[in-house]
């Protein structure tokens, strides 16, 4: 899975969740591929009612957007990470 974000060709705003129009000006966005490099902004350990715990991270991508994904164990705020291809949501590991 390639990490992607939307960019507004009119005002330049960027975001990660797909939308049909720019939230600032309404223009039709274009989908852009991210290199997947960024810095961890938040870390949470999720304990589901069934199954093993897992790590969720918010990452400030170098592209100027914040993305959510799974994180490798041991990540902390401020760590530099890279998104790895995965079948589902992106997985971030130390770069």
Binding site for Zn ion (CB under 5 A): 8, 10-11, 13, 22, 24-25, 27
- Closest distance between Zn ion and the C-beta of residue 2, in Å? 23
Question: Could you tell me the smallest distance in angstroms from the CB atom of residue 60 to Zn ion?
Answer: 20
Conformational region of residue 31, where left means phi above 0, alpha means psi within -120 to 50, and beta covers everything else:
beta
Got the DSSP string for 7-42?
A: E-TTT--EESS--SS-TTT-PPPEEEE---EEEEEE
Nearer to Zn ion, 6 or 81 (CB): 6
Strands 30-33 and 91-94: unpaired
Q: How far is the CB of 5 from Zn ion (least distance, A)?
A: 14
Between 2 and 10, CB nearer to Zn ion: 10
């Amino acid at each position: 899975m390639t990490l992607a974000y939307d960019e507004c060709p009119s005002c330049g705003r960027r975001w990660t969740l797909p939308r049909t129009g720019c939230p600032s000006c309404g223009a039709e966005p274009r989908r852009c591929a991210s290199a997947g490099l960024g810095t961890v902004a938040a870390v949470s350990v999720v304990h589901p009612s069934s199954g093993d715990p897992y790590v969720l991270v918010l990452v400030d991508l170098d592209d100027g957007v914040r993305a959510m994904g799974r994180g490798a164990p041991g990540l902390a705020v401020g760590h530099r990470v890279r998104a790895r291809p995965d079948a589902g949501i992106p997985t971030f590991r130390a770069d």
